[in-house]
Amino acid sequence: MSLDDASRAAVDALKASVAALAPQAFGRVAVLMGGESAEREVSLNSGANVLAALQARGVDAHGVDGLGALLAALGRGERFDRVFNILHGGAGENGVLQGALDALGLPYTGPGVLGSALTMDKIRTKQVWMAEGLPTAGFVRIAPGADLAAAVRSLGLPVFVKPSTEGSSVGVFRIASESDLAPAIAFAATYPGELLAEQMITGGEFTVGILGGVALPSVRIVPPGEWYDYHAKYISDDTQYHCPGLEGDDEAAIRTLALAGFRAAGCTGWGRVDVMRHADGRFLLMEVNTAPGMTSHSLVPKAAREVGIGFEDLCLAILAQTLEAGRA
């Protein structure tokens, strides 16, 4: 994979710094996983992988199930020097965890309060991108109790309907025709939060991992079905991943856009930016994941391998960001 000179230099420096790290530098590490969100099982899977990787490299790492358990342990006088946050959704990505750990002076992986809270809300993230002149798919906000069918019709089919503050394709409905509306309407009747209807983009699905100030090679996702749903993400072995997803100027453009979207949303450290390509060739920012998956099907590890960073080194590189005074 050919990176631009600056990115290649940054990756080489990252590899060198990881190689020079002494496991003792991290002290006692809590790998925070599980929790109470709809993404609990995926988080437990990711967390087990991260925990095993850190322990394999000699880090004094311990698994902790959820923010409540971590705060209880700290309240009992148990000591942790830093936190590897791999809580997907909920308190792990909405700024609650980040605010609590900031108050305790405990370093943690991933973006801080602002970036986490903002990007957990897809609607507000899109509003920021639009204000910054960054491209994103058209959408309509659906307030609790609002007429979902009317919102969908105002945008025009086909669309996706999704919760503004969930991840892992939880509660996502693909609506290609009027006959597809009923399940989404039933879900909306019981869901307490905001939803959005978003234009369905069909030109290609991509994601770009961010590690420090570097946008990793893009990954093109080709699901076996019509779209990249929960089964395609975490269960199916038939989903295809192409890394790098593009070549030449297109690859450079998608990586530049992803990094700009990440920074515009107030994010630092590491994360993942999902991007769609319109049929006319335009790239559109879709959403940011501030605690990406680290399962066997996950995409940031795939992109890191493309530039010669294995899973254990990736985990160390992410954790090493907690040693830095400031994060790119």
Which residues does the annotation mark as catalytic? 39, 168, 234, 272, 274, 287, 289, 293
- 3-state secondary structure (DSSP) of residue 251: helix
Token pair 């680290």 is found at 294
Q: Where are the beta strands (DSSP E) in the chain?
A: 28-33, 60-65, 82-85, 139-142, 159-163, 173-175, 195-199, 205-211, 214-215, 219-222, 240-242, 270-277, 283-289
Query: What interhelical angle do 311-320 and 5-20 show, nearest 10?
Result: 90
Q: How many angstroms separate the CA atoms of 321 and 8, rounded?
A: 19
Q: What angle do CA 299, 302, 308 make, to 5 degrees?
A: 145
Closest to 87 measured CA to CA, from 227, 289, 266, 274: 289
Cα dihedral sign for 104, 106, 107, 108? Answer: negative
Closest to 44 measured CA to CA, from 56, 57, 32: 32
The sheet with strand 60-65 has its strands ordered as 60-65, 28-33, 82-85
- 3-state secondary structure (DSSP) of residue 224: coil
